[in-house]
Amino acid sequence: MNGSSPSPPDSINIWRTWALTVTYEAGEYTEQKFKAEKTGGGPVIPSPNLDTDLVMACDRLADVLIKASKNPIQMQMDIARYSKLISPKDTGHNEHREARLLERCPPGHEGKRLVDEPAIILDASSAIIAWYLPDALTDTTQKEIREATDLLSPSLEKSV
């Protein structure tokens, strides 16, 4: 008897393979659609492996990504410099440390700004710090992603 766990039944492996394939193709389609819309390219034809609901979800995501890319918010902070100054031990609970970080790397904005539409947040060098993508994924899509991730978790655990 060997110490390894039994391999999953073939039906589970088939589902994992299918889920990985569909996830990859959905990602590729969304990326191609985003690039085509951003550059004025031609239409992008989705893979026949993607059902209509998934194609519509990918289209929605690409549309929100385009809106965000057209709405940059420039910050004056240098994220590369900031990342060199912080450590995993920074928890945000040491007021003295936080004050020193804020002094060395001020956020560079005056007051607060309400962001209520898709946007990208850029640092002083125009590096993207964050994407704000409200309503990019429907509740149904989020649920399906969670379910697919659960299905893939054994494979993902082995890959890390």
- 98-119 pLDDT, tens digit per residue, is 888 878 777 666 667 788 999 9
Angle at 118 between CA 117 and CA 119, to 5 degrees: 110
pLDDT for residue 9 is more than 80: no
Q: What pLDDT does residue 42 have?
A: 92
Phi and psi angles of residue 152, each rounded to the nearest 5 degrees, phi first = -90, -10
Instruction: With beta carbons less than 8 A apart as the criterion, state whether 105 and 123 touch.
Output: no
CB 66 within 8 A of CB 92: no
- Name which residue leads in pLDDT, 15 or 50: 50
Q: How confident is the model at residue 155 (pLDDT cuts 50, 70, 90)?
A: confident
Q: Which two tokens stand for residue 67?
A: 């809106």
Q: What percent of the chain has pLDDT over 90?
A: 40
Residue 67: partners with Cβ closer than 8 Å, 6 or more residues away: 117, 118
Mean predicted confidence (pLDDT) in 13-29: 84
Asked whether the beta carbons of 60 and 31 are under 8 A apart, the reply is no
What is the average pLDDT score of the chain? Answer: 84
Q: Which residue in 126, 113, 132 sits closest to 74, CA to CA?
A: 126
pLDDT at 7 over 70: no
Whole-prediction pTM = 0.73
Q: Report pLDDT digits (tens) over 33-89.
A: 999 999 999 999 999 989 999 999 999 999 999 999 999 998 888 888 888 887 777
Residues 160, 153: Cα–Cα separation, whole Å: 11
**Residue (of 141, 134, 150, 136) closest to 53 by Cα position:** 141
